[in-house]
Amino acid sequence: MTEYHDKRIIRSKTAIKETFLKLLSIKSFDHITVSEIVREANYNRGTFYANFETKEHLLDVVIQDALREMIEQIRTPYKSISKVDMNELNIDDITLFTYFQDHVKLYKLLLSNHIRVDFRFQIAKAIEHLFIEEYEYEIEEGASLDTKWLYIYRAHGIAGLIIRWIEEDFSASPEYMAQQTLKLMTTSTKVFYVKNGGDEK
């Protein structure tokens, strides 16, 4: 009986979330009501409030689920190793970009102007938290670098790369993006030139 009850809760919760996303794809969050969600999902308001406090809570659950899945994809290549040499990583083990391609509708929706939440920033913060809490970079001896800012810099850079790739409708393959990410994480540049710089007389 308990197992059946649990499955019923999971089924209703999933149906409500899927219906909510379907509605969100055609109208803004502000114009969606709880009554509309439950009507389209073929449930009642009691079932909705048994799973979610408000429609804002429903949106937050959808966002947190998406971020949790994204973080799991980032962790995938490193699950069975303690020391990571990014120069030796197998591109095929990096599943993050394939994951985004497989869930393009969800992420484009969360990045759209249909919701008021800054999902771009939430992606960056989730990656930043992962880097700071779970990873420790090996820094050159004597380098006067606060690693906190290194993690923040890299996390927000990767987030920007992911977002631009999604917004450009996957202008490159997942394999290419994985390869470029590894190169970006391992490339150091100490000199740059100002285009059209210098004295112009």
User: Are 6 and 98 part of one and the same domain?
Assistant: no
Q: Is residue 193 part of a domain?
A: no
User: Are 38 and 80 part of one and the same domain?
Assistant: no
Q: Is residue 199 part of a domain?
A: no
User: Are 93 and 109 part of one and the same domain?
Assistant: yes
Give CA–CA dist 174/180, Å, rounded: 10
Count of CA atoms in the C-beta half-sphere (13 A) of 127: 23
The pLDDT of residue 142 is: 76
Give CA–CA dist 91/182, Å, rounded: 9
The CA dihedral of 183, 185, 188, 194, to the nearest 10 degrees, is 80
Q: Is residue 73 part of a domain?
A: yes
Could you list the residue range(s) of the whole structural domain that residue 92 is in? Answer: 56-186
Number of domains in the chain: 2
Q: Is residue 169 part of a domain?
A: yes
Give CA–CA dist 155/130, Å, rounded: 9
Q: Is residue 114 part of a domain?
A: yes
User: Are 30 and 75 part of one and the same domain?
Assistant: no
User: Are 85 and 134 part of one and the same domain?
Assistant: yes
The pLDDT of residue 117 is: 87
The CATH number given to whatever domain includes residue 38 is 1.10.10.60
Residue at which a domain ends, from 15, 37, 52: 52
User: Are 9 and 103 part of one and the same domain?
Assistant: no
List Cα–Cα distances, 69 to 18, 95, 176, in angstroms. Answer: 16, 11, 21
User: Are 82 and 152 part of one and the same domain?
Assistant: yes
List Cα–Cα distances, 37 to 65, 66, 117, in angstroms. Answer: 19, 20, 20
User: Are 111 and 158 part of one and the same domain?
Assistant: yes
Q: Is residue 201 part of a domain?
A: no
Q: Is residue 197 part of a domain?
A: no
Q: Is residue 19 part of a domain?
A: yes
User: Are 70 and 119 part of one and the same domain?
Assistant: yes
User: Are 39 and 68 part of one and the same domain?
Assistant: no
Is residue 107 within 8 Å of residue 169, measured between CB atoms?
A: no
Give CA–CA dist 90/94, Å, rounded: 7
The pLDDT of residue 5 is: 55
User: Are 38 and 117 part of one and the same domain?
Assistant: no
The pLDDT of residue 80 is: 85
Distance of CA 18 to the CA centre of its chain: 18
Averages of pLDDT over runs of 10 residues in the chain (201 residues) are 67 95 96 96 94 96 97 92 88 94 96 92 96 88 84 94 96 95 89 78 49
Per DSSP, the three-state class of 182 is: helix
